[in-house]
Structure 1
Amino acid sequence: MKQNQEKSITDILTNMNTNVSPTERVVSATAGGALLAYGIKRGDTFGILLSIVGGGLALRGATGHCQVYDAMDIDKGEAPTNKRLANKKSATYQNGLLSGKVHVKKSLTINKSQAELYAFWRNFENLPKFMAHLESVKTTDGNKSHWVAKAPMGTTVEWDAEITSEQENERIGWKSLEGADIPNSGVVEFKPTTNRGTEVKVTLTYEAPGGALGAMFAKLFGEEPSQQVYGDLYRFKSLMESGEVISVEGQSSGREPQAKKAAA
């Protein structure tokens, strides 16, 4: 029994077959490289540990192989051929670090009317003016549009989306169509406040590249969507109230943006 266990461990450590999806490889390589560089920059004991973790992630991204997946009989590089194994993998992805669903809710009060804010947002081609990670949005017909967003390592992701619900001046709901690089859905609501202004509330659900583990590393390096939505809402507020966009880069969601401005 002991000999079989040792042989199994050896197989796990020496097997280099690809078992990581292309998206996870990009996330691993990006996060690993960042951790490695940051660890080297620190130069202390904690930095050494970060460098080791970063090196492991970078290797995972470069080779497409994960020993942890090996030990758990998970193979995301190829379609499973065994139904029982497929069910086991599915349960693994639906729970814990491999789960891909991420939910984001953010809101902000803007000193403009419902009608003004709704009208500007409803013209989706305006969105890249304050959404930093969007390259372009093109309306393809009344309810459908094509989106292009920036991704790590100078790449882009694209998807088509359609409006699923709409109440003039109050809410816009959407979802991505089949074949999206990052499946997503959500709603933006415009609610009048008791004082002057309108509360803009964004609710977003998306499939995180690399699962919740990928979202965790993205959050660490400022690329996670809750941080993006926070920044986008502040830029929207600034654009609508003053005609300029305030930079919130480097800010956490608990602090007000700096007074640094850029032309809209």
Structure 2
Amino acid sequence: MPGTADDDAPIATSKRHDAATDLTDSLIDGKGGAITARAVTINRPAAELYAYWRDLSNLPSFMDNVVSIALNGERSHWVVKAPGGKTVEWDARVTEDRPNELLAWASEEGADVSNSGRIEFRDAGARGTVVTATIAYDPPVGVVGKIIAKMFQREPAIQARRDLRRFKQLMETGEIATSSWTKKQLEEERA
């Protein structure tokens, strides 16, 4: 059953009717009505993955839509790309921190996108670590905002899947594969 101790699947994938309530209840200071969860197994120790994630300034290296994160102790200021070339911003605070196991956060009052979530690191033996990201959020402009975000590939469920895939690539290989050339690569090829 998803969400049990012997299952790698995020609880958000459960077909149980009460799973969303269980998930929201598990978020400290849970904010947001739309919930998404994704999991990936990464062939690295939990301590290494947690340490990289815990330094929030590392997140823009693999989170495609995150422009910047300014740190101030347990609080952070996020600037994130939104549909139509715009950005949204919010302040967030760490609400729970269990080294090598879990990091949870919640946005502060006045956030452009009210959100909360958690990232969990669970040992998977010889396979490495199961990393599960769970995010609850209120899309700007409600359902219409969610539809627009999905059209522009900026919806959190889509981004969570892609960001975790990039995190896996970065942690296992030291780089993130791309399908397009950077300006520098193009110049080198033409030279």
TM-score by shorter chain over 0.5: yes
Deviations 1:50-102 (A, max 9, x none): xxxxxxxxxxxxxxxxxxxxxxxxxxxxxxxxxxxxxxxxxxxxxxxxxx721
Normalized per residue, the structure richer in helix is 1
Is 1:196 the counterpart of 2:127? The answer is yes
Quote the residue 1:239 is aligned against.
170
Structure 2 counterpart of 1:164, from 73, 86, 95: 95
Larger radius of gyration: 1
Query: 8 Å contact 1:139–1:145 — kept in the other structure?
Result: yes
Find the aligned partners of 1:147 and 1:172 in 2 and give their Cα distance: 16
Find the aligned partners of 2:181 and 2:98 in 1 and give their Cα distance: 33
Letter matched to residue 115 of structure 2: N
Letter matched to residue 168 of structure 1: P
Larger relative contact order (C-alpha < 8 A, sep ≥ 6)?
Answer: 2
Mapping of residues 120-199 of structure 1, within 5 Å: 120-141=52-73, 143-199=74-130
Letter matched to residue 157 of structure 1: V
Query: 8 Å contact 1:245–1:262 — kept in the other structure?
Result: no
Query: 8 Å contact 2:37–2:133 — kept in the other structure?
Result: yes
Letter matched to residue 49 of structure 2: L
Structure 2 regions of 5+ residues with no counterpart? Answer: 1-31, 183-191
Find the aligned partners of 1:110 and 1:154 in 2 and give their Cα distance: 32
Quote the residue 1:229 is aligned against.
160
TM norm structure 1: 0.54
Letter matched to residue 196 of structure 1: R
1:156 deviation in Å? 1.1
Find the aligned partners of 1:115 and 1:261 in 2 and give their Cα distance: 32
1:182 counterpart SS class: coil
Find the aligned partners of 2:137 and 2:53 in 1 and give their Cα distance: 20
Give me the CA root mean square deviation: 1.7
Query: 8 Å contact 2:112–2:140 — kept in the other structure?
Result: no
Aligned length: 151
Identify if the C-alpha distance between structure 1 residues 157 and 245 changes in structure 2 by more than 3 Å, giving closer, same or farther.
same
TM norm structure 2: 0.74
Is 1:112 the counterpart of 2:36? The answer is no
1:212 deviation in Å? 2.3
Identify if the C-alpha distance between structure 1 residues 234 and 166 changes in structure 2 by more than 3 Å, giving closer, same or farther.
same
Query: 8 Å contact 1:191–1:200 — kept in the other structure?
Result: yes
1:131 counterpart SS class: coil
Query: 8 Å contact 2:65–2:154 — kept in the other structure?
Result: no
Structure 1 regions of 5+ residues with no counterpart? Answer: 1-99, 248-259
1:261 deviation in Å? 7.3
Deviations 1:23-64 (A, max 9, x none): xxxxxxxxxxxxxxxxxxxxxxxxxxxxxxxxxxxxxxxxxx
Query: 8 Å contact 1:149–1:157 — kept in the other structure?
Result: yes
Identify if the C-alpha distance between structure 1 residues 211 and 202 changes in structure 2 by more than 3 Å, giving closer, same or farther.
same
